[in-house]
Structure 1
Amino acid sequence: MAGMTTRDNAPRRIRPTHNDRPSIRKRGGSCQERTGMIPRERDTRHRPIAPLAPVVVGLALALGGTGAEGGTDPCAAGEPRHYTLPANDKTVNWGYFSKSIPPALTVKSGDMVTIETLTHHADDDYERMIKGDPGAESVYTWDAKHKNVDRRGAGPMDASIHGRGAGEGFGVHILTGPIKVCGAEPGDVLEVRILDMHPRPSANPDYAGKTFGSNAAAWWGFHYKHLIEEPKPREVITIYQVDATGQQDWARAVYNFRWVPQTDPFGVVHETIDYPGVRVDHSLVKENHDILGEARIPVRLHFGTMGVAPAEADMVDSIPPSYTGGNIDDWRIGKGGTMYYPVAVEGALLSVGDPHAAQGDSELDGTAIETSLTGVLQIVLHKKDELAGTVVEGLDYPLLETGDEWVVHGFSYANYLAELGPGAQQEIYANSSLDKAMVDAFRKMRHFLMTTRGLSEDEAISLMSVAVDFGVTQVVDGNWGIHATLPKRVFAGDAE
């Protein structure tokens, strides 16, 4: 999801389970290797990185501040562990990445984490998406005296800019974490393997076996200034239903309503969707049922926001994506996919959130089907002195690998925090363009081909024009995105 600012899984072949395959390999080797890319003859001299030991599944540990059970050092050598990180008011941060906040969990390379994530749009329908769920209730608790998660965004705690609330909504996503990775240092690369994902069922017994999500066609959407029906402008929320049992792979619309001014428990009136977690009073809105006919929306579970902490600022708005990942909003970042992130700060500090049930490229109206999900991740650290000759050599951008493709993510600004200076977190919203994002995606794919395949620049440019698909990832996150997709089969002939 994009989210409010201040600028007033299609079917695909899934590769073998990560537990059965080695880690990043050097360029070269056979077609069965980790990269799925067949080496050119000149690359066969490279040796693979040693594979990980098999992951120990079933050691589901209760959450602890150190990520250990019984005082055990989480960084101690030994077989990989499997942790569980629930989502509650003690384990989430709302609307920001930070290099300074204490980790909710500490893991070592090779460990697995079952991680719960909550949507920041759950209060669009409290009855369906929060009621009876202890974790969600703890995060969303807000009455006239206090709210459990006070800061929502990277803005001032005293709401001195707009008076909307602590953090001012300068960043909106509920992020579970951060997860500290033992030994991670700037210059390393963090590999995050998404082994599994499933919807978080509604805890309300009236909706057993179902999951719900919200799509907000909001003021930050690309469509907002181009409406043709009255009233104009307007914000419309559509509630979708997903089968929580996994027997159906599609979502359907339940009802929609137009946003009307909502008053939060502190007495602040929200004329628009301008602060996360404001509960919609359904006595004030008109629900329109029987919408979208028999339309079935293919479910593509994914994390809209996942990334490590940037180094350039202490408190960073969760909305614009950057070189450390974050709010990329690519529906391909789901089960069977692997993300690679350049580590910018000690411990990496991985955070995960903004879960989606479905989204189209561009995320046109401002959001996806924002829902709550649980994922299973394996976290692997690659040290900087081991990267030469691998597919992540020189990596300074978020890279996605699926069973069939490599996907690089370009943005209007590759690192807007550094490029735009002290006012970057405000200026980014007025300076993005798809032209800039296309240039960045081109440069990153050129780098990828020249580095991992040993191509000349001329070879890389020709290949990009005839075999690489460039698509619009999103146009609603401040730092707009273009992704470039390279099919692995392009190089399959090298094995013949």
Structure 2
Amino acid sequence: MNNISPLKHTGFIASSIFFTILSSPAFAEISCDSESTEAKHHYIPANNKTVHWGYFSKNKAPQAVVQSGDFVTLETLTHHANDDAERMVKGDPGAESVFKWEKNDKGVDRRGAGPMDASIYGRGAGEGFGVHVLTGPVYVCGAEPGDVLEVRILDMYPRPSGNPKYAGKTYGVNAAAWWGYHYNDMIEDPKPREVITIFELDATGEKDWAKAIYNYRWVPQTDPNGVVHEKIDYPGVPVDHSTITKNTKVLENIRVPVRLHFGTMGVAPVETDYVDSIPPGYFGGNIDDWRIGKGGTMYYPVAVEGALLSAGDPHAAQGDSELAGTAIETSMTGVVQVILHKQNELQDTVLQGLDYPLLETDTEWVVHGFSYPNYLEALGEKAQSEIYAKSSIDNAMRDAFRKMRHFLMTAKGLTEDEAISLMSVSADFGITQVVDGNWGVHGVIEKRVFAGDSIN
């Protein structure tokens, strides 16, 4: 990865970068004409006009139109903010516009890739078939199928609570929920149960750890439209704190190291109009790898014109596997630079033949394997429902192995025998997540293995 000086959120503005804020969420016509050779900096705030909730879409109007080399600041919100709206929504105009929910009046109505009339389960528009609040998309001029989009994560910082009562603090949520790996394997009563734990962080970033301040068991919540949610089955349901019992003696004397990262970031897939944001795939999406943070660079294969990059599902901390169902889900802002690599320029580079999301850090290369590398294609018309019943760590490991083999043979010029030997003695494979429908295994190999090799 080329050395790039990170932009600091303390107000630094490089002399060659211009800041622009996009005020309209839709373009009547996309214009990519630009005579300037200087990189621009685009700012996309998070509000009910700039986010899409629970899905990727190749037809979503872009929130910014950028050139290769441009910078983008993306404000992102956690879909769990209403678990403690007092701390995570109140006093924050952007969050208030997104999480607004009065009877038959929601700030963002569609939440998920399901039907708008909630005709399947009656949960609400979009049915919660996809849960993440995503900012964007970003249209990259010149991007076409077969190209690769490079996304450099230059900075990430917490979104402070807008409530003056909690000035200087940021809050996050861990939900040990019904989709967690643990849910049907509990030993204490009552079982099963869903538990929300609220964490506090230092909004200035000076303290690099989070602490739990209380937890509570989920009890049935009635949303403003009168729908009762026995479980956490629809994103953004306002939790009535008069109905819960708070336990303030939780994880005492425990500090959780902060590892800010995007749980979900990716480009639009081509297979269908609305794609559930939960299962990841070749397009990236909800990979939930804590390594996708400041200093990391993601490479995504472009599937549609303009790439249509979106990001969200911000995390303060997460362990490999995300076992209970979520990370510490919080709100934060990220600064990225997007660089387009055209298909005809990929030969004999590390990106040759790339058809999966690849991560580069200062010291490592990381491939991401899934139960199905492209579940949308492999499982047919019912892919978005069937994937949840077909996930397999065996399949994800097999896919990660194949991707690491491809990387070593293509990017490093090894034979298959050499690649297999090197994987066995130098690569680390770990479980990225077992909760996102399309389970993940990542393969990590250190750059120092390739002594004397020039990466770029």
State the TM-score, normalizing by the size of structure 2: 0.95
Corresponding residue for residue 184 of structure 1: 143
After TM superposition, the structure 1 = structure 2 runs for residues 78-117 of structure 1, keeping only pairs within 5 Å, are: 78=36, 79-117=38-76
Across the aligned residues of Structure 1 and Structure 2, the Cα RMSD in angstroms comes to: 1.9
After TM superposition, the structure 1 = structure 2 runs for residues 331-346 of structure 1, keeping only pairs within 5 Å, are: 331-346=290-305
Output the CA distance in 2 between the equivalents of 1:459 and 1:314: 42
Output the CA distance in 2 between the equivalents of 1:397 and 1:210: 37
Of 320, 323, 339 in structure 2, the residue corresponding to residue 361 of structure 1 is 320
Please state whether the residue corresponding to 1:364 is helix, strand or coil.
coil
Query: 2:18 touches 2:39 (CA, 8 Å); kept in 1?
Result: no
Output the CA distance in 1 between the equivalents of 2:128 and 2:450: 46
1:292 corresponds to 2:279: no
Output the CA distance in 2 between the equivalents of 1:18 and 1:340: 19
Output the CA distance in 2 between the equivalents of 1:468 and 1:457: 15
Output the CA distance in 1 between the equivalents of 2:123 and 2:129: 10
1:17 corresponds to 2:14: no
Corresponding residue for residue 233 of structure 1: 192
Query: 1:67 touches 1:83 (CA, 8 Å); kept in 2?
Result: no
How far does residue 61 in structure 1 lie from its aligned partner after superposition?
Answer: 1.2
Output the CA distance in 1 between the equivalents of 2:39 and 2:408: 33
How far does residue 145 in structure 1 lie from its aligned partner after superposition?
Answer: 3.0
Q: Which amino acid aligns with 1:290?
A: K
Q: Which amino acid aligns with 1:152?
A: R
Output the CA distance in 1 between the equivalents of 2:138 and 2:39: 15
Query: 1:303 touches 1:333 (CA, 8 Å); kept in 2?
Result: yes
Query: 1:322 touches 1:414 (CA, 8 Å); kept in 2?
Result: yes
1:439-463 CA distance string (max 9 Å, x none): 0000000000000111000000000
1:245-286 CA distance string (max 9 Å, x none): 111000000100000000000000000000000011000000
1:83-103 CA distance string (max 9 Å, x none): 110000000000000001111
Query: 2:367 touches 2:442 (CA, 8 Å); kept in 1?
Result: yes
Query: 1:65 touches 1:103 (CA, 8 Å); kept in 2?
Result: no
How far does residue 110 in structure 1 lie from its aligned partner after superposition?
Answer: 0.5
1:206-253 CA distance string (max 9 Å, x none): 111000000000000000011000000100000000100111000000
Output the CA distance in 2 between the equivalents of 1:55 and 1:382: 24
Please state whether the residue corresponding to 1:438 is helix, strand or coil.
helix
1:422-453 CA distance string (max 9 Å, x none): 11001000001000000000000000000011
| Closer/same/farther in 2, CA of residues 75 and 407 from structure 1, 3 Å limit | farther
Q: Which amino acid aligns with 1:353?
A: G
After TM superposition, the structure 1 = structure 2 runs for residues 205-216 of structure 1, keeping only pairs within 5 Å, are: 205-216=164-175
How far does residue 137 in structure 1 lie from its aligned partner after superposition?
Answer: 0.3
State the TM-score, normalizing by the size of structure 1: 0.88
Q: Which amino acid aligns with 2:4?
A: T
Output the CA distance in 2 between the equivalents of 1:248 and 1:74: 42
Corresponding residue for residue 415 of structure 1: 374
Of 59, 72, 76 in structure 1, the residue corresponding to residue 34 of structure 2 is 76
Output the CA distance in 2 between the equivalents of 1:226 and 1:330: 24
Corresponding residue for residue 198 of structure 1: 157
After TM superposition, the structure 1 = structure 2 runs for residues 358-437 of structure 1, keeping only pairs within 5 Å, are: 358-437=317-396
Please state whether the residue corresponding to 1:477 is helix, strand or coil.
coil
Gaps of 5+ in 2: 8-12
Corresponding residue for residue 10 of structure 2: none
| Closer/same/farther in 2, CA of residues 396 and 15 from structure 1, 3 Å limit | closer
Q: Which amino acid aligns with 1:141?
A: K
1:478 corresponds to 2:437: yes
Corresponding residue for residue 5 of structure 1: none
How far does residue 67 in structure 1 lie from its aligned partner after superposition?
Answer: 9.9
Output the CA distance in 2 between the equivalents of 1:190 and 1:77: 22
Query: 2:25 touches 2:61 (CA, 8 Å); kept in 1?
Result: no
| Closer/same/farther in 2, CA of residues 280 and 306 from structure 1, 3 Å limit | same
Corresponding residue for residue 43 of structure 1: none
| Closer/same/farther in 2, CA of residues 66 and 181 from structure 1, 3 Å limit | farther
| Closer/same/farther in 2, CA of residues 319 and 249 from structure 1, 3 Å limit | same
Query: 2:42 touches 2:73 (CA, 8 Å); kept in 1?
Result: yes
Output the CA distance in 2 between the equivalents of 1:81 and 1:171: 32
Output the CA distance in 1 between the equivalents of 2:452 and 2:347: 25
Query: 2:25 touches 2:50 (CA, 8 Å); kept in 1?
Result: no
Higher relative contact order (CA 8 A, sep 6+): 1
Corresponding residue for residue 30 of structure 1: none
Gaps of 5+ in 1: 1-13, 21-53
Of 244, 247, 257 in structure 1, the residue corresponding to residue 216 of structure 2 is 257
